[in-house]
Chains A and B, each alone.
Chain A
Amino acid sequence: AQTVTQSQPEMSVQEAETVTLSCTYDTSESDYYLFWYKQPPSRQMILVIRQEAYKQQNATENRFSVNFQKAAKSFSLKISDSQLGDAAMYFCAYRSYNSGGYQKVTFGIGTKLQVIP
């Protein structure tokens, strides 16, 4: 079974600084997708960034980028120029499909990010 581990329950960062959230996972599959989701205090979960396991190039979305190390099964999220609106819970997620077409999805427990003005 796949597992996703977020070892940092809480993180804080000064506004305009850079912070990295860590995520490790365990799988025996070679084809899968990794996601970072953001859940602000209003509770609406939104997708931040996505990484396909077969792509070596790290995904980037504006101020958000990932460091994907497939061999190490590591998928960290870097937030540059942190803004107050970045304060939220961040979830790392693993998704794949088996041969029967059934989705397998596993979320980490989340990291609460605080942005200090």
Chain B
Amino acid sequence: KAGVTQTPRYLIKTRGQQVTLSCSPISGHRSVSWYQQTPGQGLQFLFEYFSETQRNKGNFPGRFSGRQFSNSRSEMNVSTLELGDSALYLCASSSRGLAAEETQYFGPGTRLLVL
């Protein structure tokens, strides 16, 4: 099985712009979670999607949004970019996402730099 893929791998944007990141989960996985990773904050949970529905959301402003398609692929959008949004954005998929013990499989991440 192919692993979790994320596109693009690198992005450079300027303040005020918006950006869309894409994540394709492992085939058959229905749950996709998004994380923001920064050196000072570690990994912070953004949100989780399961069967096209957002099931949970972390403590991020409304500028961060996402969606999931019927094929389980997910996109994350950040509007009105700020310098502090520069980070590595990771997505992770799991088969059911309904149990805490579920193993999450991570993608390689998208490195976003906001200038």
A interface with B by C-beta (< 8 Å): 31-33, 37, 42-47, 50, 52, 91, 93, 95-97, 101-110
Contacts and interface: CB of A to CB of B under 8 A. Distances in A.
Contacts of B44: 107
B43 A103 contact: no
A106 B45 contact: yes
A26 B97 CA distance: 23
A50 B106 contact: no
Nearest to A109: B42
Contacts of A46: 106
Contacts of B55: 101-103
A42 B106 CA distance: 12
Nearest to B59: A1
B100 A107 contact: no
Given A91-B43, A103-B56, A109-B41, 9 more contacts: A42-B108, A45-B92, A45-B106, A50-B103, A91-B42, A101-B98, A103-B33, A106-B45, A108-B42
B90 interface: yes
B48 interface: yes
The prevalent SS among residues of A at the interface is strand
B95 interface: no
Interface in B60-115: 88, 90, 92, 97-101, 103-104, 106-109
B11 to A, nearest CB: 15
A104 B58 CA distance: 9
A108 B42 CA distance: 6
Nearest to B56: A102
A44 B88 CA distance: 11
Contacts of B48: 103
B106 A110 contact: no
